Each structure stands twice: as structure tokens, then as C-alpha cells.
């Protein structure tokens, strides 16, 4: 297995980052192991002050539909959940993709992943050097909250999907369906079955002063209708320009370099002969998105893995009078995927629906890299989600729906779900 310190920190250039990982592209001397790869390093939160940590601890579980496993175990007299497994230097993403994700998404639309050894006494110094080197290139809002995990690092080598000649565009499609009204409350049904989750969340963020792609609706992108897909791409482009490239739903890379809107002229002449950068890029992306099965696959997985909505999952959890359970193991996910593909699960099986919702969340939060003129589409950022986030998701869902319910009915956005019609 290759080791992190087989390279120098200066061999890696900051590329991008998400909530869980930070990504670097290899720029060192020719090396058959590292050429054409990116390095994905796990991130860790910065130390919080005592008051912040205390605030998290004292939130009363009695006000939460999803109490913690420890709280529920104590309340119902159950055995507490097992302690967390010791840290493994091998990032679980590799096995998770191989054993679970690749059974749901054709491997041709997934990046190649491989472990990179990050153990040893000199690794910490190596990572600290890389962290200091990349810090000036990171978004300010990210620098305030997290950084490279130094104490317990995990590292993965992946296919470099944005390097080389041509253009690569990273799109974060988000939720591609409207929920069934069956499991929704009377308070949320009217808004959640008419306006998609993304558009409602964008409204909430906008009221808080955040920059959001207001002209983009994921249901347009997933629709399979050329005019709607074009409209979705136009909305993503406009938000990218208006935010000066800050929005994370649309990123553009030209010849391996992430560009800002001020550099959009570099797009012209690469994929086609159109003189306007926006028209040139959308015209190049459109045929790829119309022919690839990637968006259809994502929408299908999101919908079928989340048949209850978070509200229905909360009701099932309350009815079961049991904890959500510990973090799923790889073996448990593997068994779940088999049950999902065979259609053999019980509708009342809480643990089944917990794992289903976690997987659906993975597919709702992934990104798609589209390369032109190559014409390829690859799904990335398919990390497993933590069961600890379910409670927060339910709280956020309620906040989003309640905020949107305050919008006058005549001003609410109508999002069209072609499958739900």
C-alpha cells in the first residue's frame, strides 16, 4: 500500500472541500502511483469553547422526537449502545463504495478509490505542513469551523476527475423528488407536496442573508425534459456568477484549475465554438445530462430509500419505543442493500428504514462531475452518513417547512415532480 509520505506536502495543491473531506490534486514529479489522482483527507472540527459544547449537552431530549440512544436506553431500561469502535487508519469510504454503493450505481459512473497509508510517527508533521500550506486557499467560512484531521487521519486516493484538458463541472443536484403526502403532518403537507425541499431550504437561507441559487430547482434538473434541464443549468450558472463562485452547488474547472466567474472567458473555445461563456458551457453540458443514466439513478435511489419522509421515520421511531441503534456496520449495510434490492423488508422494521434514510441522505448530498468534451458523468462524495444526524435532520426539516408555511400561498413556488404526477 502506498504511503502518504511517499510524496511531499508541496506535491499536493488544494482543490476543493465539502463538509467531511478536503481534496488535493497531485502536482508533483511524474509518479505512476499518484499521477492523475486526488488526495481526500478527512476533516475534523476545530475545538469549541466550553459553552458551545455545554449548550449541545443540555438540550432536553424531551423536546426532541429523536432522542439520543443513551437517553432512550436509560428511559426504557435498555442496555446502553456499545462504545464506538477504535479509530481505523483505513478510510471506510473505500469498502463502503465497493461493497454497497457499487451495487446500486454502475461502477462506470463511480471514481476509483484506494487506501493511502497515513500511519507512522512522521505523518502528523506531514499533515500539519500541508494544512498550513493550504489554509490561505480555503473558504473563510470553512477555516472558522474545521480543518485537516491530524490526530486520527484517514486518506484516500481517487481518480482526478477535474484535471487534464477540457472542462469539468461539479454539480450538487440535491433532492430530486416531492414526498408522499401519506406520512406528512397536517401542518406540513400543503407545503412539502408542492415545493421541493431544496427550494424551501433556499427560502429559509435567503431570509438569513445567505446567498442561494434561487433560480435553480433540482426537479428541473432531474426531469429529463431538455428545456427544464437547461433552465436548471441556467439557474446554477446565474447563482455561481452572482455569488462570485461561493455557492457549492456549481463549480467550474478549466484545464484542471478551479475558476471564478471573473475567469469565465477561459471556457470559450474548449467544448464548442459559441462565444458566450454561459451558452457555451450549458450547450456542452446539456447533451451529457440528457443521455447519462446518472440523474435518473440518483432520483430513483433517493425516492425509494426515503418512502416515509423524515416525518414518517419519526412516527415509526416513536411507535417502536426503541433507540435508532448504533452506527451501522459495513456488514449491516451490505445486508441492507441485499434486502432493499430483493424488496424483502418489513414496512414496520425501524432499523431497515433508518439505514434506508441514511443511504438516501448520501444520495441527496453527493455531487456529479460532468466532463466536456469527454461527455462523462461521475458521482462523487458518496460517504456514509452518521445516525447521530437523524435528530438534527428532523429539526431542520421542521424549521424549513414552518418557515415556508409563512409564505403567502399565492407566492409559493410550484415544483413539478414528473414521477409524482
- Taking the alpha carbons at both ends of the chain, their separation in whole angstroms is 51
How far apart, in whole angstroms, are the C-alpha atoms of residue 280 and residue 282? 6
pLDDT at position 80 over 50: no
Q: What percent of the chain lies above the pLDDT cut of 90?
A: 75
Q: By 3-state DSSP, what share of the chain in percent is helix, strand and coil, each rounded to 5?
A: 45, 15, 40
The reported pLDDT for the residue numbered 78 is 37
Categorize the per-residue pLDDT at 145 as very low, low, confident or very high, splitting at 50, 70 and 90: very high
pLDDT tens per residue, range 246-297: 888 999 999 999 999 999 999 999 988 899 999 999 999 999 999 999 999 9
How far apart, in whole angstroms, are the C-alpha atoms of residue 79 and residue 64? 21
Grid-cell match 452547488, residue found: 249
Distances (CA, A) of 221 to 40, 115, 260, 417: 28, 33, 23, 11
Task: Show me where the domains of the chain are located.
Answer: 4-58+90-159, 168-411
The reported pLDDT for the residue numbered 66 is 57
pLDDT tens per residue, range 105-127: 999 999 999 999 988 889 999 99
Q: What is the DSSP letter of 311?
A: H
Residues sharing a CB contact under 8 Å with residue 322, sequence separation 6 or more, in sequence order = 72, 76, 78, 350
Peptide bond into 136 cis (omega under 30): no
Least confident of 65-69, 164-168, 393-397: 65-69
Instruction: Let me know the angle formed at the C-alpha of 20 by 15 and 21, rounded to the nearest 5 degrees.
Output: 30
DSSP-assigned states of every residue in 326-347: SPPPHHHHHHHHHHHHHT---T
Q: Are 332 and 124 in contact (CB under 8 A)?
A: no
Beta strands in 11-154 (DSSP E): 12-17, 21-26, 37-45, 113-115, 146-148
How far apart, in whole angstroms, are the C-alpha atoms of residue 210 and residue 207? 7
Name the range with the highest mean pLDDT among 39-53, 62-76, 389-403. 389-403
From 222, 177, 229, select the one nearest 198 (Cα to Cα). 177
User: Once rounded to an integer, what is the mean pLDDT over residues 151-169?
Assistant: 93
pLDDT at position 392 over 80: yes
Categorize the per-residue pLDDT at 74 as very low, low, confident or very high, splitting at 50, 70 and 90: very low
pLDDT at position 403 over 90: yes
pLDDT tens per residue, range 187-243: 999 999 999 999 999 999 999 988 888 899 999 999 999 999 999 999 999 999 999
pLDDT at position 73 over 60: no
Least confident of 81-90, 133-142, 182-191, 235-244: 81-90
Q: What is the helix (H) or strand (E) element at residue 402, kind and residue range?
A: helix 390-405
The CATH number given to 4-58+90-159 is 3.30.200.110
Average pLDDT, the chain: 88
Categorize the per-residue pLDDT at 308 as very low, low, confident or very high, splitting at 50, 70 and 90: very high
The reported pLDDT for the residue numbered 90 is 58
The reported pLDDT for the residue numbered 77 is 36
Categorize the per-residue pLDDT at 18 as very low, low, confident or very high, splitting at 50, 70 and 90: confident
- The rounded Cα 150 to chain-centroid distance in angstroms is 23
Instruction: Let me know the angle formed at the C-alpha of 401 by 399 and 403, rounded to the nearest 5 degrees.
Output: 65
pLDDT at position 62 over 60: no
Q: Are 218 and 176 in contact (CB under 8 A)?
A: yes
From 272, 387, 293, 384, select the one nearest 334 (Cα to Cα). 384
388 or 65: whose pLDDT is higher?
A: 388
From 153, 212, 169, 166, select the one nearest 22 (Cα to Cα). 153
Q: Is 158 helix (H, G, I), strand (E, B) or coil?
A: strand
Amino acid at each position: 500500500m502506498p504511503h502518504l509520505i511517499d510524496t511531499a506536502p508541496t506535491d499536493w495543491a488544494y482543490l476543493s472541500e465539502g463538509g467531511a473531506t478536503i481534496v488535493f490534486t497531485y502536482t508533483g514529479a511524474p509518479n505512476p502511483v499518484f499521477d492523475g489522482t486526488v488526495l481526500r483527507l478527512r476533516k475534523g472540527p476545530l475545538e469549541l469553547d466550553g459553552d458551545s459544547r455545554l449548550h449541545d449537552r443540555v438540550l432536553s431530549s424531551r423536546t426532541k422526537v429523536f432522542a439520543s440512544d443513551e437517553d432512550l436506553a436509560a428511559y426504557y431500561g435498555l442496555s446502553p449502545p456499545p462504545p464506538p469502535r477504535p479509530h481505523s487508519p483505513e478510510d471506510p469510504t473505500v469498502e463502503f463504495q465497493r461493497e454497497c454503493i457499487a451495487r446500486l450505481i454502475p461502477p462506470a459512473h463511480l471514481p476509483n478509490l484506494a487506501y493511502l497509508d497515513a500511519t507512522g510517527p512522521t505523518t502528523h508533521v506531514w499533515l500539519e505542513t500541508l494544512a498550513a500550506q493550504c489554509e490561505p486557499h480555503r473558504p473563510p467560512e470553512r477555516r472558522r469551523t474545521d480543518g485537516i484531521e491530524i490526530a486520527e487521519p484517514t486518506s484516500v486516493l481517487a481518480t482526478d476527475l477535474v484535471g487534464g484538458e477540457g472542462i469539468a463541472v461539479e454539480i450538487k443536484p440535491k433532492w430530486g423528488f416531492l414526498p408522499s403526502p401519506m406520512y406528512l403532518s397536517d401542518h406540513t403537507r400543503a407545503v412539502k407536496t408542492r415545493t421541493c425541499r431544496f427550494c424551501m431550504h433556499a427560502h429559509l437561507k435567503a431570509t438569513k442573508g445567505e446567498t442561494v441559487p434561487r433560480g435553480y430547482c433540482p426537479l428541473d434538473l432531474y426531469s429529463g425534459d431538455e428545456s427544464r434541464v437547461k433552465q436548471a443549468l441556467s439557474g446554477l450558472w446565474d447563482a455561481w456568477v452572482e455569488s462570485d463562485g461561493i455557492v457549492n452547488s456549481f463549480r467550474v474547472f478549466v484545464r484542471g484549475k478551479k475558476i471564478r466567474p471573473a475567469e469565465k472567458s477561459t471556457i470559450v473555445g474548449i467544448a464548442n465554438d459559441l462565444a458566450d461563456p454561459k451558452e457555451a458551457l450549458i450547450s456542452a453540458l446539456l447533451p451529457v445530462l440528457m443521455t447519462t443514466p446518472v440523474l435518473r439513478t440518483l432520483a430513483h435511489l433517493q425516492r425509494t430509500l426515503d418512502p416515509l419522509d423524515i416525518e414518517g421515520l419519526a412516527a415509526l421511531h416513536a411507535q417502536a419505543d426503541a433507540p435508532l441503534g448504533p452506527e451501522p456496520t459495513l456488514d449491516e449495510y451490505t445486508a441492507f442493500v441485499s434486502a432493499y434490492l430483493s424488496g424483502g423488508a418489513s414496512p414496520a422494521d425501524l432499523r431497515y428504514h433508518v439505514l434506508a434514510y441514511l443511504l438516501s441522505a448520501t444520495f441527496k448530498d453527493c455531487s456529479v462531475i460532468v466532463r466536456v468534451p469527454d461527455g462523462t458523468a461521475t458521482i462523487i462524495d458518496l460517504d456514509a452518513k452518521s445516525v447521530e444526524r437523524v435528530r438534527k435532520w428532523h429539526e431542520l426539516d421542521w424549521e424549513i417547512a414552518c418557515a415556508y408555511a409563512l409564505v403567502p400561498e399565492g407566492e409559493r413556488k410550484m415544483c413539478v415532480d414528473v414521477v409524482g404526477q
